[in-house]
Structures are given as structure tokens and as C-alpha cells.
Structure 1
Amino acid sequence: MGQTITLTATDGHTLSAYTAGPADAARALVVVQEIFGVNHHIRAVADSFAADGYRVIAPALFDRAEGGVELPYDQDGVQKGLKLRAAIPPEDTLLDITAAARALGLPPAHTGIIGYCWGGTIAWQAACRTNVFGAAIGWYGGGIAAERTLVPHCPVELHFGETDASIPLSDIAAIRAAYPDLPVYTYPDAGHGFGCPERASFNATAAHLARTRSLAFFDRLL
């Protein structure tokens, strides 16, 4: 089990973060939340990577708009999450991501980032707009296609569900066209949020394969 700590970004903003894993780990990960906050699921994801030997931190990105946010996986939760996300400038979110990466205490070559949903898009932005990561992975990041002209500073791997109603296959094709050498995996019968067992869209087979591929990617690069 992990603990909650406080981070300070370079603009002076303080935010909470869930951290887990051995303090002397040789590799570290920033885990980036969905639009539901650093909730039970995201803490469980952090704990799972910690069990694999990583030092992990999950920053509470909604703290810039409202503290202590943990939203349910229902329509009300979606609507509030979208509202909170819209209230936070992307550049401020990257300040918080950078603060989380630096708090892990390892050089970029041994620090990765993985994000889910909103966090998947943030992982892409962090790979392109910061220099604090050695590898980045995005799971079903809906905003990546719109920012496919960005150039990542580290290796990136992406995962999408083929039946994701919010990310059309044309978006995935556009990403592949922009970066033909970038590993982009799709999963049949997998919708948005297929990696979260607390969502109706959970697909155990796809989630297991995507996690296996993610671990192999980080194992090779960090």
C-alpha cells in the first residue's frame, strides 16, 4: 500500500499525489489519472506497478480546480470530470506532471509515464512538451490524434480499443500515418476504458495484453 504526499510545482501550486513502491527502485513511473481523479482504480494501478518493482507516483491533477476529487464511473462522474478538466490549462497540468516526475528522484532515462483516458493524452503531451521522461505510454487517449503534429522526445507506445465510441478508427489511422514507426496497438471488442475493471467497458483479455505490452516496453527502455 502507498501513501499520499504533497508536491509543489514550479509555479508554486501544491497538489496531492499517491505514491507507492520501493524508495530505492531503479525505475520509476508517473501514473496519470482518468477524468475520474486519483480514485480507487488509479491507486490500484499504481500499486500494481509498485509490485513490479517501480517507484510510482499518481499526481492529483484536479487539485488545481478542486481538491480531493474521486468521481464515480457514471454519467454524473463523467460530466463533472469533463468540467474540471476544462477548467485547467494544459500547460499547468504539465507543470504538475513535471513536479511528479522530479519527486521520483531518478533521471529521465529511468523515469516513464503512463496515462489512461485523459491521462493517455497527457502522457503524449508530456512526451512531446517536456524532457523528463525516457518512455511514455498512452491508453485510449482521446486527444492524441488532434495533437499528432507534436514530436515526442522519447519513445511512445499507444493502446486503443477498436470499439471505442469516443475515439474513431479514423483517429487511430491518422496517428499511424503521422508516426508509422510508433507502436500503436488496437484491441477487438474493446471500448473506451477497457483497462478499468470498475467500468462496464472492461475487457479482461485486452487489459491483460495491453499491460503485458506496456511492461515489456518499459522494461526495454527504462
Structure 2
Amino acid sequence: MSITTKWIDIEAADGTFGAYLAIPHTGKGPGIVLLQEIFGVNEHIRTVAEQYANDGYVVLVPDLFWRIEKRIELGYDDAGWKRAAELMQATDVAKAQSDIALTVAALKAQPALDGKLAVIGYCFGGRLAYHAAADGLVDAAIAYYGGGIQNQLQRADEIKVPLLMHFGAADSHIPLDAVQKIAERFEDNDDVEVHVYADAEHGFNCSHRASYNQRASVEAHGNSLTFLSDHL
């Protein structure tokens, strides 16, 4: 048997958006809401969802850019970066956070869900995962190279669930002093982990990008699985 995947529809107050669902071969498991980079729910993000489904999780990935263009998929060339930046700038973050709450509710309604629920986000999605943790939407949260978290530390005391953050030591978008600022803010919170991976650039988990770092990707995935096993 293998995992099963499909798109489902989720109703919002101002329309309907799609979400990519991946179910493990067992037909049930704990849940993960997986949040995209700025490149949409593209092949890479769907592959990550399928990877976690193979690990035994029921994964749901909302299309967060649907109000601008539904199911957009971008690559990592210059044109993709340009369009991705435009989409991120045009996105109403408050509405995206509302969509994430609706996605959590939709995942909780899935018969395949068996257990607790986490959020995992990458880049833009990493920052949104941090906010989802602060909003109390999930039982645990993981943020991969979440840009801008260092500017949202006023929400740190609102985070009451376990949080794992992954950063690259060579990230040209998130300097190490920003990572240090985050780590220092949470140093007294035993439920928050910050991992920094040597020689890893921004997007180190994405095998479709030039910045892919195989060792950092594998180590971060292993740390994430241990974290999820401990908290879900």
C-alpha cells in the first residue's frame, strides 16, 4: 500500500480555497498542517507533504495565495523569484492566518486524523507557523528558516506549545544575529528549540533549489521527526 493524495476544498468567508491532502498508507495518523514557501504549493512542497505522509502523518497544505491566483506553482529561477516576491507583498497576512485556522479545522474534521496536530512552515510559511503557535491553533510547531520571526518577538510569551526552529548558519536572508536574538528571547523556555546548521543557506531543505544542503536537510528532518514523536 502507498500514501494517497488529493486536493480538497475549504470554505472561507470570502470564497473557497484548495488544500493538498496526503494520507499515510495506514489510513490514519497524527496531523500536520504544512505551510508553503512564497512559491506556492509547488512540486517541492507537495513532495514534502508526501514525505511526512510516508512518515505516518496526515498532512494538509493550504493554498495561501488563492485570493490572488489559485494553485499557483512557481520555480526557483529569476522569473519565479520575481513573481513570488510580488505574491508575498500582495498577500493579506491576517487573512492567511485565518485560512490557516480554517485549515486546522478542516484537518481536525478528517476521519484519517488520529491524535494531535502540528504545523510546519517553510520560509514565509515558517513565520506563519510561529504565529499559528502563538495563536494556540496547534499542539506543536516547526518553523524552517522563518524570515521575520526576529521582528515578531513581542508574541513570544503567547507561545504555550512546543516550538522547533531551524536556521542555516550561512543564510543570506536571515543573519546570525537575528537567529541569536530569537534564541536569547526563548532561552528560558524549555519547550522551544533552536537548531542552526553549519554551511546551510536559506532554503536548505529544498532539493529543487541551488541552496539545497543534503546534510542539513536530513539532520533537520530527523530532528523534526523526533520533535513530532515527542509532542504529538
TM-score by length of 1: 0.94
Measured in 2, the distance between the counterparts of 1:213 and 1:156 equals: 12
2:10 pairs with 4, 7, 11, which one? Answer: 7
Residues 35-73 of structure 1: CA distance to partner in whole angstroms, max 9, x if unpaired? 000000000000011011111001110102111210011
Residues 59-101 of structure 1: CA distance to partner in whole angstroms, max 9, x if unpaired? 1101021112100111221121111111122110011111111
Measured in 2, the distance between the counterparts of 1:40 and 1:24 equals: 23
CA change 1:207–1:52 in 2 (3 A) is same
Q: What is the Cα-based RMSD across aligned positions, in Å?
A: 1.7
The one-letter code matched in structure 2 to 1:97 is I
Measured in 2, the distance between the counterparts of 1:42 and 1:69 equals: 12
Q: How does 1:197-216 map to 2 (within 5 A)?
A: 197-216=207-226
- Alignment size in residue pairs: 220
The one-letter code matched in structure 2 to 1:89 is D
The DSSP-based 3-state class of the residue aligned with 2:179 is: helix
The one-letter code matched in structure 1 to 2:198 is P
**Does the CA contact (< 8 Å) of 2:202 and 2:211 recur in 1?**
yes
**Does the CA contact (< 8 Å) of 2:30 and 2:114 recur in 1?**
no
Match for residue 18 of structure 2?
16
The DSSP-based 3-state class of the residue aligned with 1:95 is: helix
Match for residue 169 of structure 1?
176
- Aligned residues: percent identity? 39
- Residue ranges of structure 2 left out of the alignment (5+ in a row): none
1:77 pairs with 77, 80, 87, which one? Answer: 80
- Residue ranges of structure 1 left out of the alignment (5+ in a row): none
1:155 aligns to 2:162 (yes or no): yes
Measured in 2, the distance between the counterparts of 1:8 and 1:218 equals: 28
Q: How does 1:117-132 map to 2 (within 5 A)?
A: 117-129=123-135, 131-132=136-137
The DSSP-based 3-state class of the residue aligned with 1:14 is: strand
The DSSP-based 3-state class of the residue aligned with 2:127 is: helix
TM-score by length of 2: 0.90
Residues 108-152 of structure 1: CA distance to partner in whole angstroms, max 9, x if unpaired? 9701000111111110011112x2200000000111111012121
The one-letter code matched in structure 2 to 1:174 is K
